[in-house]
Structure 1
C-alpha cells in the first residue's frame, strides 16, 4: 500500500502523520499476510501452518491498529487543546490592538 501523498516525509514532525505511517505499515503487513494466504491455498500441505501465521499476523496487526488509534486520539486531543489556547491568545492580542493608543491597559 502506498503512503498518502498529503503526509509529510518526516513523520516525527507530525504525530498524526506518524500514526498514519504506522497504520500504513500495518496494512502493508496485512497485504503480505493475504498474499501468503493465497500462496498457501495453492499448496494444501501448508494450510495449517499458514493459518497459524495469519492468526499471529492478525493479532499483531490488531494490536498495532489499536495502538495507532489510541495515539491518534491523543494527538487529536492535544490539537484541540492547542487550538483553544491559540484562540485565547488571538483574542487577547486583538483586544490589545483594539484599544486606542493613549488608553491604559485594563487590569487582568
Structure 2
C-alpha cells in the first residue's frame, strides 16, 4: 500500500506552509451541483427579465383600451371643470351684485343719519 496517497501534502501559502488534504477539494459531483445551482439562479433571473419584457410590451389592444378610458376620464374632468368654472362665474356675479346693493344700502342709511347728526 502506498502511503503517499493518504498523507496530506504541504502547500506554501505566503511565508507559511499549510496542510492540504486531497479530500478538501470539491469533488466532481460537488462541482456539478454548484454549476447547476448557478445555472438555476441565472435561469430564474432570465425568466424574471422575460416576464418584465412581456409586461412592458403588453397587447396593443390593452393599451388602446387604457387610452380610451383615459380619454373618457379626460372628457369627464373637462366637463366638470367647465361646470365648476360656470358656477364660479355665477358666484362672482352674485357677489358683485350683493356688494353693489350693500353699498347702496349703506349710502341710504348714511344719507338718513347725516341730517340728524348735523342738527345735534
Q: TM-score, normalised by structure 1?
A: 0.51
Equivalences, count: 63
The CA RMSD measured in Å over matched residues stands at 2.3
Pairwise mapping of residues 52-67 of structure 1 onto structure 2 (< 5 A)?
52-67=68-83
More strand by share: 2
Provide the rounded CA distance (Å) in 1 between the counterparts of 2:57 and 2:84.
35
Partner of 1:84: 100
Q: Give, in angstroms, the shift of residue 66 of structure 1.
A: 0.6
How far is the alpha carbon of 1:44 from its aligned partner? 2.9
Q: For the structure 1 residues 52 and 93, does the alpha-carbon distance in structure 2 shift closer, same or farther, using more than 3 Å as the test?
A: same
Structure 2 SS opposite 1:59: helix
Partner of 2:113: 97
State which structure, 1 or 2, has the greater radius of gyration over its C-alpha atoms. Answer: 2
CA shift at 1:43, angstroms?
A: 6.6
TM-score (norm 2): 0.47
- Structure 1 residues 71-99: Cα deviation after superposition (integer angstroms, max 9, x where no partner): 11011111100100000000011111111
Moved over 4 A (4+): none
Query: 2: CA distance between counterparts of 1:102 and 1:48?
Result: 80
Q: Could you list the runs of 5+ residues in structure 2 that have no partner in the other structure?
A: 1-54
Q: Higher relative CO (CA 8 A, sep ≥ 6), structure 1 or 2?
A: 1
2:56 & 2:112 partners in 1: Cα distance? 73
Report the counterpart of residue 44 of structure 1 in structure 2.
58
